[in-house]
Amino acid sequence: MRETDFEKLYDVVVLGAGTAGAAAALAAADCGARVLAVEQFGSAGGSSSLGLVTPLMSPGIRNKPQCSYLGLEIIRRLTREGAADGEHKCFFDPMMLSMVLEEMLSERGVTMLYHTMVTGAEVSDGRITGIRVSNASGTGILRASRAYIDATGDAAVCRLAGLPTRHGDEEAHRNQPCSLRYLIGGVDPDRFWQFLCEKRGEPGKPRPENFDGAATLGQGSWALNDFFREAVERGDLAKEDALYWQFFTVPGRRGVLAFNCPEFFDIEDITDADRQSEVQVQGKLRILRHLRFYRKYLPGFEEAYVDQIASMVGIREGRRAETEYMLTAEDAYGWRKFDDAVAQSNYPIDIHGRTLRNQDLVRREDEPRKYYEIPFRCLQVRGTDNLLAAGRNIGTDFVAQSSVRIMPTCRALGEAAGIAAALGLRDGRAVREEMIRRGAEFC
């Protein structure tokens, strides 16, 4: 029997074509590398397309610099298609994003290997020598002459290579809550907006092009909280259906709303396949209950239907790589700067369902530049010299990851990894210079 059915050699091999992986592949191609991007599903974008995650959160820095030239290009292209509404906290259509990414990847000549699962990694003398994959053609081995990028979101390559990884919080190793996102179509936005305004005590307020709303049975003071509490008391929703409920309109799709729920607060290890399957099954049952509830109670939802359910479980935090530097909560909260920074952010620490001991973290209030930086060393996987991590699985502690994970930052990290891999750069300063030369904005 043959050991492998196929073998491929490229300059740079990117594992996972999600938010960070797509940016890594594009940036490496821009730097002249022959790039192969491997993805288990049939589309680029990962959480931001197949996971139906929208909107793009803003890193929250004054004057709003975007540390990713590719992030800027993606948003401009989406806006041109009428599928995004701005450059900062930006509502966008996840399906249009997947097409825009596909267009950009094709234009740059990136080879996509879809429907392909990374199943193993060969390591010799501290170097990755090949990535084992499985797909409809059989089993294969992929080799990179310059570097490999682990953009799987959950450090799958690091784990398969036998390198140490971390997951969950430092105390119990429990992951952040996850969600199964969905889109509802057939909504009358004017009627629903008027209902929201009445609940918010602002009847008759004109409807903006895009709007959002939320409710929770826990902390928070959203106007719809009591409405959801009553639905639970009447038995029209289960308690878990209403613990966290949030929606956003989708630019270019009238009558479609994107929901950032249902959310699962009690999953300990979301990298476990059984747990992921449970979320898909239970999530659909909850979405069905949501739909029945909307049709019965929400003005404007009388003809609502389920437009789309995410094929990927919405994983906020799974596994993380161990890297040359591990960004900490103190770094993020204290607005720490680094010489080899490749991304900047002031997005808050955002852990769902938990109260933080913020008193343990000290803000440097004398610091005039109110953002923290992510050093390139957080991408350099410890124990290898040709594997970089990019995206939400870079080297951080649990709390810092909750801020790092937003899409603009993941794109910047992917871009940095792609440039470094293609040009053989090991110094973050040189990587940042190249990002800036190509249009990335840093403070």
Ligand X SMILES: Cc1cc2nc3c(=O)[nH]c(=O)nc-3n(C[C@H](O)[C@H](O)[C@H](O)COP(=O)(O)OP(=O)(O)OC[C@H]3O[C@@H](n4cnc5c(N)ncnc54)[C@H](O)[C@@H]3O)c2cc1C
Q: Which of 310, 278, 34, 225 is nearest to 147 (CA)?
A: 34
Q: Which of 290, 316, 320, 432 binds ligand X (CB under 6 A)?
A: 316
The answer to whether residue 156 forms part of the interface with ligand X (CB under 6 A) is yes
Cβ of residue 112: shortest distance to ligand X, in angstroms? 12
Q: Which of 286, 377, 405, 432 binds ligand X (CB under 6 A)?
A: 405
Cβ of residue 160: shortest distance to ligand X, in angstroms? 8
The answer to whether residue 181 forms part of the interface with ligand X (CB under 6 A) is yes
Tell me the DSSP string of 199-215: HTT-TTPPPPSS-EEEE
Tell me the torsion sign for CA atoms 235, 240, 242, 246: negative
Nearer to ligand X, 160 or 422 (CB): 160
Q: Which of 28, 74, 142, 151 binds ligand X (CB under 6 A)?
A: 151
Contact 27, 439 (CB under 8 A): no
Phi, psi of 110 (to 5 degrees): -75, 135
Stretches 199-207, 267-275, 293-301, 403-411: which one binds ligand X (CB under 6 A)?
Answer: 403-411
Nearer to ligand X, 177 or 300 (CB): 177
Nearer to ligand X, 88 or 191 (CB): 88
Stretches 136-144, 278-286, 334-342, 400-408: which one binds ligand X (CB under 6 A)?
Answer: 400-408
Nearer to ligand X, 195 or 321 (CB): 321
Burial code (b: 16+ CB inside 10 Å, e: under 16) for 278-301 equals ebeeebeebbebbbebbeebbebb
Nearer to ligand X, 195 or 247 (CB): 247
Contact 419, 147 (CB under 8 A): no
| 26/245 Cα distance (integer angstroms) | 35
Q: Say how many C-beta atoms besides its own lie within 10 A of residue 173's C-beta.
A: 12
Stretches 37-45, 215-223, 237-245, 276-284: which one binds ligand X (CB under 6 A)?
Answer: 37-45
The answer to whether residue 344 forms part of the interface with ligand X (CB under 6 A) is no
Q: Which of 288, 286, 293, 322 is nearest to 306 (CA)?
A: 288
Q: Which class for 215: exposed (0-12), middle (13-18), buried (19 or more C-beta within 10 A)? A: buried
Q: Which residue is nearest to ligand X (CB)?
A: 18
Tell me the torsion sign for CA atoms 99, 105, 106, 108: positive
Phi, psi of 321 (to 5 degrees): -75, 155
Window 104-123: residues binding ligand X (CB under 6 A): 117-118
The answer to whether residue 315 forms part of the interface with ligand X (CB under 6 A) is yes
The answer to whether residue 152 forms part of the interface with ligand X (CB under 6 A) is yes
Nearer to ligand X, 88 or 229 (CB): 88
Stretches 69-77, 166-174, 334-342, 391-399: which one binds ligand X (CB under 6 A)?
Answer: 391-399
| 51/42 Cα distance (integer angstroms) | 13
The answer to whether residue 403 forms part of the interface with ligand X (CB under 6 A) is no
Q: Which of 10, 21, 321, 332 binds ligand X (CB under 6 A)?
A: 21
Q: Where are the beta strands (DSSP E) in 235-367?
A: 244-249, 257-259, 263-264, 305-309, 319-321, 341-345
Cβ of residue 167: shortest distance to ligand X, in angstroms? 14
Q: Say how many C-beta atoms besides its own lie within 10 A of residue 134's C-beta.
A: 16
The answer to whether residue 16 forms part of the interface with ligand X (CB under 6 A) is yes
Contact 389, 329 (CB under 8 A): no
Nearer to ligand X, 110 or 406 (CB): 406
Contact 101, 83 (CB under 8 A): no
The answer to whether residue 407 forms part of the interface with ligand X (CB under 6 A) is yes
The answer to whether residue 40 forms part of the interface with ligand X (CB under 6 A) is yes
Q: Enter the tokens of residue 332.
A: 């993020």
Q: Enter the tokens of residue 120.
A: 């193993």
The answer to whether residue 342 forms part of the interface with ligand X (CB under 6 A) is no
Q: Which of 28, 56, 121, 378 binds ligand X (CB under 6 A)?
A: 56
Nearer to ligand X, 390 or 435 (CB): 390
The answer to whether residue 267 forms part of the interface with ligand X (CB under 6 A) is no
Q: What is the DSSP letter of 341?
A: E
Nearer to ligand X, 40 or 165 (CB): 40
Q: Which residues contact 219 (CB under 8 A, 6 or more apart)?
A: none
Nearer to ligand X, 134 or 194 (CB): 134
Contact 395, 378 (CB under 8 A): yes
The answer to whether residue 41 forms part of the interface with ligand X (CB under 6 A) is yes
- Interface positions with ligand X (CB under 6 A): 16-21, 38-41, 46-48, 51, 53, 55-57, 117-118, 151-153, 156, 179, 181, 260, 312, 314-316, 391-393, 405-407, 410
